[in-house]
Structure 1
């Protein structure tokens, strides 16, 4: 299933997947696949994505399990970590409007809430506490990278 992915990539996808699987059902809405891949900084061809997701959504319930999600993500994952890091930097820069090298956890909360409107305030607090490991109230690029890649 995930032969083309290394263990770090699988971990990264697993983390991203479970962030969006707020009900812990083991499935995510197919609409969220695009959001996750974009959050990871991946370049996505819309038609390709739709075809892949439709292909994986065999029972047509509009949801994908982790394995199906991995197969779709693998298609877009660039093997080159440097490219991915550059793309994550770009994604981070979008939220770091002042260019301070960090974003406030309030921005992160907005991002996470926008990505998954099913998250409760407690779940958001929990996620932010996990990400803002030094409790600074801000998330620097390293913390952001760690959240996205597990490095």
Structure 2
């Protein structure tokens, strides 16, 4: 199934996986898959998702490694139009960019990430922000750093 995903989507999936693998264990909890799919604007059938999660979690650990994560998320992304996904991400970004400056404060990004995953600690959030805001400007722009982080892996 990974052959069917292009490099851009694979890079985005790697970044999403890394963001949600806050303990850097190489695995993420199955519950986080729904959050990631919702974030990416993917349409999915909850029962189909549950069946795929069960199929990929043969040991019953409640966690998926990256390969199984790609199988599950990739299954729902294949049908998705990349432009539509980017549009959804831009829309979410614009909600926080009320002045239309093309960037948001890192504090807003921290809010978004905290809303996406309530298990992230302040320390986890600070680490993610530090990775994204490499120049220490306190802002993140959609077309630049934020998308580089998401898309380039």
Calculate the TM-score normalised by the size of structure 2: 0.82
CA contact (8 A) 1:41 1:90 kept: no
Structure-2 change in CA distance of 1:40 and 1:79 (3 Å): closer
* Counterpart position of 2:89: 88
Q: For residues 71-128 of structure 1, what are the alpha-carbon distances to aligned partners after superposition, in whole Å with 9 as ceiling and x for unaligned? A: 011111146322221121123234334544322211211222342524452x433321
SS of residue in 1 equivalent to 2:114: helix
Q: Is the 8 A contact 2:41 2:85 kept in 1?
A: yes
> What residue ranges of structure 2 are gaps of 5+ in the alignment?
none
Shift of the alpha carbon at 1:45? 2.7
Q: Could you state the TM-score of these two structures normalised by the residue count of structure 1?
A: 0.83
Count of equivalent residues: 150
Q: CA RMSD in A?
A: 2.3
Task: Give the alignment of 1:1-151 within 5 angstroms.
Answer: 1-77=1-77, 78=79, 80-114=81-115, 115=117, 117-121=119-123, 123-142=124-143, 143-150=145-152
Deviation of 1:129 (Å): 2.5
